[in-house]
């Protein structure tokens, strides 16, 4: 029997941990294990706000796939379609060409994309905070606005450049607003005239921030944000964005040149290419993480609708890193079991809580039923991140960065990433041309035919 071809799509929490579990369970050389991903690193996204504020270097949160795996073959590119009939993943390579990746077992863990709405000007003017490049660019852009405002004598321009609006009261939005507000406070020491002009706003259509924390800690988060100078406006969204203002749904027009969009994540469009049932874009799977009707295809993470057998708050598991990491162990077991003809395991996990780092010494944590704030929460938050980071090298870098900041303070110099005009918006940065179900089948068959014609490969 030839070696089974196991393909994992996505190098996020679900994908990378699946690979590591597979490598532990499968003897070296017993299977061909491949990873399809646009980048050869796993991004530890919970710490991206600290990259945006300059507390951590970009390398600290980007863990090399090559360092963390031993026998995985890396296939660079975006998976843009799946042809289950011919067992082919259609990959758009960095060169733009399409290429086939054949599989015997497929694990889909492509994550998600920033959720956008049809708001005039949003696609052209909003900044994202989901990728490593966006975090680094965001820091440079914010500092550039302060430099330009300090150099301007026009009060209107100063107000526009010194006002920043973050949309989204979830984990990313709250931490991004808090971290970048601290960055501006540090930078304002060099620009004393701007101290009274700098304004940070956090807006969300929801009635509360961080609802996952519960009412008491949610109110604490709101109080902490306001105490450091972030103006929080709830039950409000954005109506229009231009290059110099943000118009809210309550009618207010805020002079502003920086809108940061963190209003949620949508599942990867890749899941629709299988032409199987979805829940709000998330591919439905069974408790064994298999796609019904496709015994050789599994899915985990943000883009998978996994039954929540613990029955805590919903019928499906929340799309969080905590769940994706633990789904990886179950799916690796089940992939091996499916090859060997063994019984499948069901995925079960009880939510362990949530941690939120508001920069400085402010943090909040809900660990099981225990609610923490202040220094105890900061200790739990940072300890959790260090345990969750899967690389000893990254842990050392993170600890070193935290120690340097504590001992020497922050650095507010730009690195030049925002030079050269307005960069692409988050919509353009995350844009990928995915195929539909029919296109996936057609392209999969065509690519296989070309492969056979060129090399005689079946």
pLDDT tens for each residue of the chain, 458 residues long: 589 999 999 999 999 999 999 999 999 989 999 999 999 999 999 999 999 999 999 999 999 999 999 999 999 999 999 999 999 999 999 999 999 999 999 999 999 988 888 999 998 999 999 999 999 999 999 999 999 999 999 999 999 999 999 999 999 999 999 999 999 999 999 999 999 999 999 999 999 999 888 899 999 999 999 999 999 999 999 999 999 999 999 999 999 999 999 998 899 999 999 999 999 999 999 999 999 999 999 999 999 999 998 876 678 999 999 999 999 999 999 999 999 999 999 999 988 889 999 988 899 999 988 999 999 999 999 999 999 999 999 999 999 999 999 898 888 888 887 776 666 666 666 778 898 889 999 998 998 888 777 766 55
Confirm if 301 and 111 have CB atoms less than 8 A apart: yes
**Helix-helix angle 13-25:321-340, to 10 degrees:** 40
pLDDT at 428: 66
- Give me the sheet containing 294-299, strands edge to edge: 72-76, 32-37, 5-9, 105-108, 294-299, 290-291
Q: Does the 126-262+353-423 domain belong in CATH 3.20.20.140?
A: no
CB contact set of 400 (below 8 Å; sequence gap of 6+) = none
Q: How many residues does the chain have?
A: 458
For residues 40-75, b (16+ Cβ closer than 10 Å) or e, as one string? ebbbbbbbbbbbbbbbbbeebbbbebeebbeebeeb
Give CA–CA dist 10/18, Å, rounded.
10
Q: For residue 425, what pLDDT is reported?
A: 65
Angle between helices 215-227 and 171-187 (to 10 degrees): 20
Handedness of CA 377, 381, 383, 384 (dihedral sign): positive
pLDDT at residue 456, rounded to an integer = 67
pLDDT of residue 120: 95
Q: Give the residue among 135, 136, 126 at the shortest CA–CA distance from 165.
A: 126
* Residue 387 near residue 207, CB atoms below 8 Å: no
Domain(s) labelled CATH 3.50.50.100 in the chain stretch across: 126-262+353-423
The CATH 3.50.50.60 portion of the chain extends over 5-38+77-114+266-351+432-455
The reply to whether CATH 3.40.50.740 applies to domain 5-38+77-114+266-351+432-455 is no
Q: Are 14 and 328 in contact (CB under 8 A)?
A: yes
How many angstroms separate the CA atoms of 194 and 179, rounded? 18
């Amino acid at each position: 029997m030839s070696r089974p071809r196991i393909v994992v799509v996505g190098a996020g929490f679900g994908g990378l941990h699946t690979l590591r579990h597979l490598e532990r369970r499968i003897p070296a050389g017993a299977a061909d294990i491949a990873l399809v991903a646009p980048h050869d690193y796993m991004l530890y996204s919970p710490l991206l706000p600290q990259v945006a504020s300059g507390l951590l270097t970009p390398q600290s949160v980007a863990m090399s796939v090559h360092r963390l795996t031993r026998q995985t073959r890396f296939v660079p590119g975006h998976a843009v379609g799946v042809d289950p009939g011919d067992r082919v993943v259609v990959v758009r390579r960095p060169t733009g060409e399409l290429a086939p990746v054949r599989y015997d077992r497929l694990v889909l863990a492509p994550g998600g994309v920033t959720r956008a709405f049809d708001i005039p000007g949003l696609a052209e003017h909003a900044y994202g905070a989901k990728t490593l490049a966006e975090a680094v660019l965001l820091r440079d852009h914010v500092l550039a606005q302060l430099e330009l405002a300090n150099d301007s004598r026009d009060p209107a321009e100063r107000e526009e450049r010194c006002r920043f609006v973050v949309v989204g009261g979830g984990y990313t939005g709250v931490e991004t607003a808090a971290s970048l507000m601290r960055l501006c406070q540090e930078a304002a020491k060099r620009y004393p005239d701007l101290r009274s002009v700098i304004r940070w706003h956090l807006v969300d259509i929801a009635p509360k921030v961080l609802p996952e924390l519960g009412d008491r800690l949610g109110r604490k988060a709101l109080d902490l944000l306001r105490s450091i100078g972030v103006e929080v406006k709830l039950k409000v969204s954005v109506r229009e964005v231009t290059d110099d203002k943000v118009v809210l749904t309550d009618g207010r027009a805020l002079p502003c040149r920086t809108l940061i969009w963190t209003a949620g994540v949508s599942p990867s469009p890749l899941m629709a290419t299988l032409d199987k049932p979805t829940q709000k874009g998330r591919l439905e799977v069974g408790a064994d993480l298999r796609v019904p009707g496709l015994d050789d295809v599994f899915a985990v993470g943000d883009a998978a609708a996994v039954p929540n057998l613990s029955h805590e708050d919903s019928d499906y598991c929340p799309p969080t890193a905590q769940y994706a990491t633990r789904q990886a162990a179950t799916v690796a077991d089940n992939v091996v079991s499916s090859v060997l003809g063994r019984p499948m395991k069901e995925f079960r996990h009880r939510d362990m809580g949530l941690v939120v780092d508001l920069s400085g010494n402010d943090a909040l944590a809900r660990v099981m039923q225990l609610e923490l704030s202040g220094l105890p929460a900061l200790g739990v938050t940072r300890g959790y991140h260090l345990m969750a980071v899967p690389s000893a090298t990254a842990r050392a870098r993170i600890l070193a960065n935290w120690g340097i900041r504590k001992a020497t303070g922050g650095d507010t110099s730009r690195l030049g990433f925002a030079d050269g005009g307005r960069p692409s918006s988050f919509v353009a940065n995350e844009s990928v041309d995915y195929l539909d179900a029919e296109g996936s089948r057609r392209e999969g068959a065509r690519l296989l035919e070309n492969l056979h014609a060129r090399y005689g490969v079946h």
